[in-house]
Amino acid sequence: MRHLDIDFNTLVLPQGWQEKAQELLDSLVAEQDEEQRSEIIDKNQDHWKAVKPILARLFNYKCWYTEAPQQGTDVDVDHFRPKKRVQETLSTAKQHYGYWWLAFNLQNYRYSCIVANRRRTDVETGVTGGKADHFPLCDESIRAQTPGCDLEAEQPILLDPLKATDVLLLQFKPDGEAMPRFSKKSHARKFMRADQSIAFYNLNHSDFVRYRIELRDLIDNDVKAAKRYFNKLETGDADNDLAYEQTICRLRKMRSKQAPFSSFCIAYLDGFRHKSEYEGVLDAVYS
């Protein structure tokens, strides 16, 4: 997961999109019956689907949660705060009917792959994940109930790619698995948020882990090659110099925000940076 610094106010939207969103919000506010509100939302799904291509381009057609590339696959516009119900409240005395007032709010949208957004069981591991209509809070008593509530007062457990401090709670193992950056013993809340987000967003789905391992192997090969080329830079061999340049450029590209699973690539590459045998070799990757 990478931080996405997005100013939604500057996005070029389909003509009349914001005006229609306001009309729909007004109709939801005016409607007092929960079933009728739900029907309004269901009938107007095309409104948020209309901005899906715009959201996709903001992160190079990658899922905002998993960083998995989304070419030729089904994708969703996820409502970060669920629009119709909140799973965590269904068995409580005070069921929450969702953040309906955010159903057509652009700031509540996240571009998501279906593995992260829909409940799915990994056939290889048997683990079920997917955000769906889950939205756990650290303190359920301060959950926003109406449009007038202060959303900033809530303390969501799920990490948000739009928050720079949230994405820093994740780290990766060399075997491709996502893990909490902080330990449960010394940073229980940080650990819990990362741990639950990994589960809900399906960050360790076997397909994603497999892809990261493939990237790891590519990085290993390029780092070793870069070391060989670096050691021969004083020979005046133009072909060697070009090969070194191309290898460094590939590694830089894998770290870029636009690249698939770039947060893993950054974490894995950083493991080489301070090893004495690679001193100076990768400096150009970080310049």
What pLDDT score does 142 carry? Answer: 93
pLDDT digits (tens, 9 = 90+) for 161-193: 999 999 999 999 999 999 999 999 999 999 999
| Average pLDDT in the chain | 95
Q: Give the mean pLDDT of 253-261.
A: 96
| % of the chain residues with pLDDT over 90 | 94
What pLDDT score does 102 carry? Answer: 98
Q: Give the mean pLDDT of 269-274.
A: 91
| % of the chain residues with pLDDT over 70 | 100
pLDDT digits (tens, 9 = 90+) for 25-36: 999 999 999 999
What is the DSSP track for the chain?
A: -------GGG--PPTTHHHHHHHHHHHHHH---HHHHHHHHHHTHHHHHTTHHHHHHTTTTB-TTT--B-SSS-EEEEESS-SS--GGGTTSSS-----GGGTT-GGGEEEEEHHHHS-EE-TTT--EE--TT---BS-GGG---STTS-GGG--BSS--TT-HHHHTTEEE-TTS-EEESS-TTT-HHHHHHHHHHHHHTTTT-HHHHHHHHHHHHHHHHHHHHHHHHHHTGGGT-HHHHHHHHHHHHHHHHHHSTTSTTHHHHHHHHHHHHT-GGGTTTTHHHH-
pLDDT digits (tens, 9 = 90+) for 46-99: 999 999 999 999 999 999 999 999 987 789 999 999 999 999 998 877 889 899
